[in-house]
Amino acid sequence: MERVERRRLPWPELTLIACGLIIIIVVTVQSVKPSCHQWKQRLGDVSAAYMGAAGTEEHPASGRPIETDATGLSRAARQVLDQRPFACL
């Protein structure tokens, strides 16, 4: 009967695995914080404004027109994206 030897993982591989696990845990914990949820809500509001503006431009007779300012929406989107909390995906 042959004996099968198990190969030991070298330290660099163990270090990379440990770092990967730590990063996954930190991102998971940070992404469920209330500040991350609020940021996602604001981002959704800005996205909805863009979609509403695009819809009224494409189909103006579909409903009441939404008064939008393209530069205002761009500025709001940039501001929301700049305020993204750490590790909020």
Render the burial of 57-72: b for 16+ CB within 10 Å, e for the rest: eeeeeeeeeeeeeeee
Nearest to 87 by CA among 15, 33, 17: 33
pLDDT in the model for residue 15? 92
Q: Is 52 inside any structural domain?
A: yes
Q: Is 49 inside any structural domain?
A: yes
Q: Is 81 inside any structural domain?
A: yes
Provide the residue-wise pLDDT of the chain in tens; the chain has 89 residues.
Answer: 677 777 776 788 889 999 999 999 988 888 888 888 898 899 898 888 877 777 666 666 655 555 556 677 878 888 888 888 877 77
Q: Is 17 inside any structural domain?
A: no
The count of domains in the chain is 1
pLDDT in the model for residue 36? 86
Q: Is 11 inside any structural domain?
A: no
Q: By residue range, what is the domain housing residue 78?
A: 34-56+69-89
- What's the pTM? 0.57
